[in-house]
Amino acid sequence: MLAGPIAKPWMSKRDRSARIAYFITYSMMFLGVAASAVRVYFGWHSVPLLEDLCLVLEDQFDGADLDTDGIWMREADMGGFGNGEFEMTTASTNNSYIQNGQLYLLPTLTSAVIGNDAIFDGHTFNLTDCTNTNLTACGTVSNRTTGTVINPVMSARISTKGKKSIRYGRVEVRAKLPRGCMWPAIWMLPENNTYGPWPLSGEIDIMESRGNSPSYPAQGINYVRGSLNWGPLTWLNAVAKTYGWWTVRRSSYGDAFHTYALEWTDKFLRIYVDNRLQHLLDLRFTIPFFERGDFPAAVSNASQEIILENPWANSGNSAPFDQPFYLILDVAIGGTNGWFPDGAGDKPWLNGALNAMEQFALAESEWSKTWPDSPNDRAMIVDYVKMWQKC
């Protein structure tokens, strides 16, 4: 048994180091919270926003068919659209139609219409309601000897060209992307080509994707990309300086609907999916595009050197993206411009081959297996489209 009181020295003398540690800990916590608040405040206020917008277009696709009188044009073309694409786009409701209040852009096999042999030899095909003024893009004759084939896929491309366009504003498209070897896109082209032919007058890609599986080595359906195409010559495109992407994990953009948006003024251009935090491209127009491109002073033109002129001189920092652009929705198939790189994913054609479309058509039994049977998975399905113009 102990006698007398028990000594408690810690009650008579405080530990100074403990007090200092306590003060430092809570001070750092306070400073961390305060710094985070300051960062959030200035970050919020540094994000430029659009103001004073006027609605130009709203289509909920609640009619029996596309409004081809006031909003849309079905583009019918076999010419490849400058990308060497392998599909023909048609005016047929087999490839673009409205169902249950949603727009379907659905690729189908040409062989299902004219037979497989006709694609390769001895068949004359003329595209109904062709919208291209170049007759070579409106029909062809297949010839096995020359390697001339009829486009092996029928698909859809619709646009607001000549009907609805905006110069600065906002675009919003809610869509579910198709699965399979395809190239769905939501994009814009200039109404008047103010600065010259592509890419001098620019191109705005709000969304591009590949319907290939997520295991595809060149970014499949779990990626979406946004970009600007621009350059001072028809063969000099600086898209590599203005592009970006967003990706989802354990999912894909073919599983559900997502909202693809563009916000655009004379001071900035932003492309994102679902919300501004998921931006594919967020660009401030702080310097002229000719300066941004860091182009050489001179370029070779056949046998001579020519001085590279600035096509956007004296037009402001937003040129060539300072003119009215119209909207395009399409599902392309293949192509030779490099969107589908050689050597990736057992691609059955070479981009540089003179008979690339024939190589693709000969492999129909392989790539068509990647296409789902159901239109709900094979089509790009659009829930709505909205466009606002800066007032």
The 10s digit of each residue's pLDDT in 160-193 is: 999 999 999 999 999 999 999 999 999 999 999 9
Amino acid 36: pLDDT: 64
Amino acid 167: pLDDT: 97
4 occurs within a structural domain: no
Q: From CA 46, how far away is CA 292, in angstroms rounded?
A: 22
Amino acid 49: pLDDT: 75
Amino acid 26: pLDDT: 75
State both tokens at 171.
């675009």
Amino acid 38: pLDDT: 60
User: Considering just the CA atoms, what is the radius of gyration of the chain in Å?
Assistant: 28
220 occurs within a structural domain: yes
What CATH number is associated with residue 88? 2.60.120.200
Q: From CA 106, how far away is CA 126, in angstroms rounded?
A: 20
56 occurs within a structural domain: yes
21 occurs within a structural domain: no
**Could you tell me if 106 and 154 are in contact, meaning their C-beta atoms sit under 8 angstroms apart?**
no
Question: Among 350, 172, 152, 381, which residue's Cα sits nearest to residue 262?
Answer: 172
The one-character DSSP state at 148 is B
18 occurs within a structural domain: no
Q: Which amino acid is at 261?
A: A
Beta partners for 143? 148
Beta partners for 125? 140
Amino acid 101: pLDDT: 98
Amino acid 24: pLDDT: 80
**Could you tell me if 91 and 84 are in contact, meaning their C-beta atoms sit under 8 angstroms apart?**
no
Q: Which amino acid is at 205?
A: D
N-terminal to C-terminal alpha carbon distance within the chain: 92
Q: From CA 204, how far away is CA 190, in angstroms rounded?
A: 9
> For every one of its 391 residues, what pLDDT tens digit does the chain have, with 9 covering 90 and above?
556 666 666 556 666 676 777 778 877 887 777 666 666 555 555 577 798 999 999 999 999 999 999 999 999 999 999 999 999 999 999 999 999 999 999 999 999 999 999 999 999 999 999 999 999 999 999 999 999 999 999 999 999 999 999 999 999 999 999 999 999 999 999 999 999 999 999 999 999 999 999 999 999 999 999 999 999 999 999 999 999 999 999 999 999 999 999 999 999 999 999 999 999 999 999 999 999 999 999 998 777 888 999 999 999 999 999 999 999 999 999 999 999 999 999 999 999 999 999 999 999 999 999 999 999 999 999 999 999 999 9
Tokens 């200035």 locate to: 42
Q: Sort 109 into a burial class: Cβ within 10 Å, 0-12 / 13-18 / 19+.
A: middle
Q: Which range marks the domain in which residue 106 is found?
A: 49-390
208 occurs within a structural domain: yes
How many CA atoms does the CB half-sphere of 9 hold within 13 Å? 1
83 occurs within a structural domain: yes
Q: Which ranges of the chain does DSSP label H, i.e. alpha helix?
A: 9-12, 16-46, 111-114, 116-120, 289-293, 356-362, 364-367, 375-378
Q: How far is CA 306 from the centre of its chain?
A: 33
40 occurs within a structural domain: no
When divided into structural domains, the chain yields a total of 1
Q: Which amino acid is at 299?
A: V
Tokens 């709505």 locate to: 384
**Could you tell me if 367 and 211 are in contact, meaning their C-beta atoms sit under 8 angstroms apart?**
no
